């Protein structure tokens, strides 16, 4: 039995597993290969909804209900599919011998898909990691929600929440926290006011986004009362203050860090060609290459999603780390593995090479309540229509990873909860 091992159950990893399973079962050598997905968690997290989970009233949805809306067990996603899930911690990847060393076992691979994502980058700033809350997992969202709720319960009349980083995560979270103020006043503490501030190191929030989108988002943030500090970088953080490089001091009660990500240590240590931030450099076919010609690599190794870096030949810049890119890359890596299996087993005379072609993916930025800004091709839309489009995109993703009945059930349940959470205006 030859193993096709996928490391990581995020957007790219799940799509690679599902695509492989669908295509492998059509080959007569299907029983000679096993698809194994390795992840330390037993579930796939839909990260675009974490900001919603972090700002949903405890009276509206408890921990279990919220988790069912953003985290989906692999056992359910892969039910009746020939995909084995291993819940374990990855210790080391031996690319020369073709072995993945886990905490409790080890797995040999013939094909390896590295889809380990990225982790929060604190840039070695003094006091930042110790004092800031990240927003990468469901538990991060719950910890943030509980921190705000607890302060309100304790009778705080003014709660200062600072978001480090004005990318999409920072903007989505800042605006939703500000809109949440009214619910907290009604349910917990009538006198509690939340001041929300975004600190962005670039000259504008949403660096790299279309200027029309940025202007609409900034207008919306101003309307709902979110303060923005531009062109300022954090120098260090204490338990009560953020000190900027300009020496300005900003007091805070809760600090959330959404200022960047970096490669996970596992991928940084792999002897593969990497870019300066530690992500694995790949070509169009998504196959990895050794960092030096004399290094031996066992089998074939592919990288997708945030673990990978691919340069867009049109812009000469790395492809943005977005879910849609990871999903497409996962499918392409899977297709190229299937083609190589056909080649190795003499199943086809014509072997295809699938190539990842970067594109300008549509994107949506929710900005508090039932309001969002979306860019679709050359068109920019905003307001309720963009918010509705966001819901359609979410449903489309659920349909791609689970059966239609389950997808619609989860989506409608989430819509019921979050539509109460998102005020109109």
Residues in the chain: 425
Name all domains of the chain by residue range, CATH numbers in brackets.
2-40+88-120+262-344 (3.50.50.60), 128-259+362-421 (3.50.50.100)
Q: What pLDDT score does 313 carry?
A: 83
Q: What pLDDT score does 425 carry?
A: 47
Q: What pLDDT score does 383 carry?
A: 96
Q: What pLDDT score does 422 carry?
A: 62
pLDDT by residue, tens only, the chain of 425 residues: 999 999 999 999 999 999 999 999 999 999 999 999 999 999 999 999 999 999 999 888 999 999 999 999 999 999 999 999 999 999 999 999 999 999 999 999 999 999 999 999 999 999 999 999 999 999 999 999 999 999 999 999 999 999 999 999 999 999 999 999 988 998 999 999 999 999 999 999 999 899 999 999 999 999 999 999 999 999 999 999 999 999 999 999 999 999 999 999 999 999 999 988 889 999 889 999 999 988 989 999 999 999 999 888 888 888 888 999 999 999 999 999 999 999 999 999 899 999 999 888 899 999 999 999 999 999 999 999 999 999 999 999 999 999 999 999 999 999 999 887 665 44
- Which pTM does this prediction carry? 0.95
Q: What pLDDT score does 182 carry?
A: 85
């Amino acid at each position: 039995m030859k193993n096709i091992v996928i490391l990581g159950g995020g957007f790219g990893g799940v799509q690679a597993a599902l695509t492989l399973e669908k295509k492998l079962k059509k080959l007569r050598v299907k029983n000679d290969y096993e698809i194994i997905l390795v992840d330390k968690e037993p579930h796939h997290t839909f990260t675009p909804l974490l900001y919603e989970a972090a700002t949903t009233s405890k009276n509206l949805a408890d921990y279990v209900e919220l988790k069912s809306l953003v985290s989906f067990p692999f056992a359910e996603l892969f039910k009746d599919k020939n995909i084995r899930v291993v819940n374990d911690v990855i210790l080391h990847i031996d690319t020369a011998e073709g072995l993945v060393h886990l905490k409790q076992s080890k797995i040999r691979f013939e094909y390896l898909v590295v889809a380990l994502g990225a982790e929060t980058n604190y840039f070695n700033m003094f006091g930042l990691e110790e004092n800031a809350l990240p927003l990468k997992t469901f538990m991060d969202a719950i910890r943030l929600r509980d921190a705000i709720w607890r302060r309100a319960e304790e009778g705080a009349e003014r709660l200062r929440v600072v978001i480090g980083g004005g990318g999409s995560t920072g903007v989505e979270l800042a605006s939703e926290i500000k809109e949440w103020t009214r619910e907290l006043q009604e349910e917990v503490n009538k006198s509690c006011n939340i001041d929300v501030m975004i600190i962005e190191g670039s000259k504008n929030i949403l660096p790299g986004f279309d200027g029309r989108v940025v202007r609409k988002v900034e207008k919306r943030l101003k309307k709902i009362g979110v303060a923005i500090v531009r062109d300022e970088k954090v120098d260090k953080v204490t338990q009560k203050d953020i000190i900027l490089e300009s020496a300005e001091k900003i007091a805070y009660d809760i600090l959330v860090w959404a200022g960047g990500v970096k490669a996970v240590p596992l991928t940084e240590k792999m002897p593969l060609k990497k870019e300066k931030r530690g992500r694995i450099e790949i070509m169009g076919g998504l196959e990895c290459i050794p960092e030096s010609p004399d290094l031996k690599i066992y089998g074939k190794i592919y990288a997708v999603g945030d673990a990978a870096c691919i340069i867009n030949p049109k812009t000469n810049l790395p492809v943005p780390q977005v879910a849609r890119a990871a999903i497409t890359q996962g499918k392409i890596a899977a297709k190229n593995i299937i083609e190589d299996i056909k080649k190795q087993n003499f199943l086809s005379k014509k072997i295809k090479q699938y190539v990842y072609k970067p594109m300008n993916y549509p994107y949506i930025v929710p900005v508090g309540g039932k309001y969002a800004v979306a860019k679709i091709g050359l068109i920019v839309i905003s307001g309720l229509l963009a918010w509705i489009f966001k819901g359609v995109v979410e449903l489309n993703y659920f349909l791609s990873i689970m059966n239609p009945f389950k997808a619609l059930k989860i989506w409608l349940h989430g819509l019921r909860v979050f539509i109460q959470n998102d005020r109109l205006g």
